[in-house]
């Protein structure tokens, strides 16, 4: 098996440039059967490796592989009867188009989401990068949003921005923080966030409520969310999104060329670059693959914790808004809500067993064992599960799509992720506020380019999810 991994690594490097990736379903009777496959950090498992139980008692791992990789894996496992590898045969309709021009006319027109429109209304295309900025400018000029420039420019020289609304000019009154567009190919994330904020502001102005499919909300609920103070960073990875929208290459990372100047070696996975157990070779068991040291990998972790300007900008928002309590990072495509921790199973009894303890270095990252489990106070575990469950229930209620909530570690660990970083700050940085971190993955597994129908359904699902996430967070507590 180890020889297979080495050969597959070489194979991946030679074929990755084509980006001819195809959805593949790998089935096995236990998750342990996937360990070697996932250990090959040159394979593309979407946002992260997800092995879901099936109705017949098996487990299914989804991946995006080239034809050569599919052929190689099929041959490798043809003698292993319990593992099957199948390329998806579903023919998908054309993906939702990217907008051309600027529908918001440089900020003289404000965006309006689906929650304030008649049932059956649709949005015709995904925002291009310029429109994301123009849409926020429209909310600034016409709806009372405040936009601010973040301190670092991207590798390609883009200036980044975030915005806030609802609780006035005192930045210590803001408690809800949402970000999107970390992974370039996960289309629609910035749209979902901007349209939600625009709906809140339109409903607040008109005195109306909001409707997302079968979910409805009152004007009083709208006002309570705005009063909690919303900070939003709608496009974390502008370089990557610009490239993905022009190339249709399923590009995930940013466009930093310091570690590699061509093909898949370009870029860092921003969501493996945060300062939470970033140096996974030190902190995790050797068999775990929470990120990658290889620039050619989709999960390349960068040259240092928070090495990337996008990561630094993301972190700077916590300093500007010191009372943020709840954080949501918007991704696709898996259909779930994730909550901390992502490095190992949770436990609430042994306080000494925690991510800051050097005693457990080299022991983290294996689920289901007793060598290490990440400490979380029971009151925090209860709070984050309650909010996650309410979010998932709302998303399901919109139109019946399947969503689940689960601990971020799932079946496989992660390091350097935005949600765990948010939660870890309370213990690693003296005097900062405790932040509960979540990842929302809208849509269907490995479906990063939604059809137009799916794009509009994603807006409805996520926006209802944001509503119940915020409302339940408010009920749990903002201070």
Q: Which of 76, 186, 308, 441 is labelled catalytic? A: 441
Question: What gap in Å lies between CA 274 and CA 310, rounded to an integer?
Answer: 10
Q: Is the Cβ–Cβ distance between 216 and 466 less than 8 Å?
A: no
Return the number of other C-beta atoms located less than 10 Å from residue 287's C-beta. Answer: 11
Residues 6+ apart with CB under 8 A from 236: 160, 179, 180, 181, 182, 270, 310, 313, 314
Token pair of 403 as six digits: 């969503």
Token pair of 233 as six digits: 């960073």
Q: Are strands 326-332 and 336-339 parallel, antiparallel or unpaired?
A: unpaired
The residue to which tokens 């440089």 are assigned: 106
Answer yes or no: 441 catalytic: yes
Question: What gap in Å lies between CA 172 and CA 319, rounded to an integer?
Answer: 10
Question: What gap in Å lies between CA 64 and CA 290, rounded to an integer?
Answer: 18
Q: What's the half-sphere exposure (Cβ side, CA atoms, 13 Å) at 62?
A: 16
Question: What gap in Å lies between CA 258 and CA 240, rounded to an integer?
Answer: 15
Peptide bond into 333 cis (omega under 30): yes
Return the number of other C-beta atoms located less than 10 Å from residue 53's C-beta. Answer: 11
Catalytic center residues? 441
């Amino acid at each position: 098996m180890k020889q297979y991994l080495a050969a597959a690594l070489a194979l991946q490097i030679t074929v990755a440039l084509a980006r001819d990736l195809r959805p593949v379903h790998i089935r096995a009777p236990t998750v342990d059967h996937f360990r070697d496959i996932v250990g090959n950090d040159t394979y593309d498992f979407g946002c992260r490796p997800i092995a879901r139980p099936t109705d017949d008692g098996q487990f299914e791992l989804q991946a995006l592989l080239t034809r050569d990789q599919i052929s190689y894996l099929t041959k490798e496992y043809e003698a292993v009867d319990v593992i099957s590898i199948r390329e998806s045969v579903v023919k998908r309709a054309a993906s939702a188009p990217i907008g051309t021009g600027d529908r918001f006319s440089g900020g003289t027109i404000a965006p309006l989401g689906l929650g304030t429109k008649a049932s059956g209304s649709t949005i015709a295309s995904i925002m291009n990068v310029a429109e994301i900025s123009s849409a926020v400018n429209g909310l600034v000029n016409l709806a009372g949003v405040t936009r601010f420039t973040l301190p670092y420019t991207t590798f390609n020289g883009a200036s980044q921005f975030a915005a806030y609304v609802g609780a006035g000019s005192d930045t210590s009154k803001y408690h809800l923080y949402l970000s999107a567009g970390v992974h370039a190919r996960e289309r629609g994330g910035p749209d979902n966030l901007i349209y939600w904020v625009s709906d809140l502001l339109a409903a607040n102005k008109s005195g109306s409520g909001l409707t997302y499919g079968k979910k409805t909300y009152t004007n009083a609920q709208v006002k309570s969310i705005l009063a909690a103070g919303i900070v939003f960073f709608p496009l974390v990875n502008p370089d990557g999104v610009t490239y993905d929208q022009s190339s249709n290459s399923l590009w995930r990372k940013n466009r930093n060329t310091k570690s590699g100047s061509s093909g898949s070696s370009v870029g860092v996975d921003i969501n493996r670059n945060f300062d939470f157990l970033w140096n996974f070779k030190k902190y995790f068991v050797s068999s775990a693959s929470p990120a990658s040291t290889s620039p050619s990998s989709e999960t390349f972790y960068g040259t240092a914790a928070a090495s990337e300007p996008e990561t630094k900008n993301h972190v700077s928002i916590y300093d500007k808004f010191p009372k943020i309590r709840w954080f949501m990072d918007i991704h696709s495509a898996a259909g779930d809500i994730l909550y901390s921790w992502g490095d190992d199973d949770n436990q609430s009894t042994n306080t000494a067993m925690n991510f800051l303890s050097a005693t457990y270095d080299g022991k983290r990252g294996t689920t289901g064992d007793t060598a290490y489990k990440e400490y979380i106070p029971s009151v925090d575990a209860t709070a984050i599960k309650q909010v996650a469950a309410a979010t998932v229930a709302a998303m399901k209620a919109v139109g019946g799509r399947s969503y689940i909530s689960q601990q971020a570690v799932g079946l496989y660990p992660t390091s350097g992720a935005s949600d765990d970083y948010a939660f870890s700050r309370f213990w690693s940085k003296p005097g900062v506020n405790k932040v509960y971190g979540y990842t929302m993955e809208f849509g269907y597994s490995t479906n990063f380019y939604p059809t137009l129908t799916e794009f509009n359904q994603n807006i409805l699902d996520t926006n209802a999810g944001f509503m119940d996430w915020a409302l339940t967070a408010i009920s749990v507590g903002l201070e």
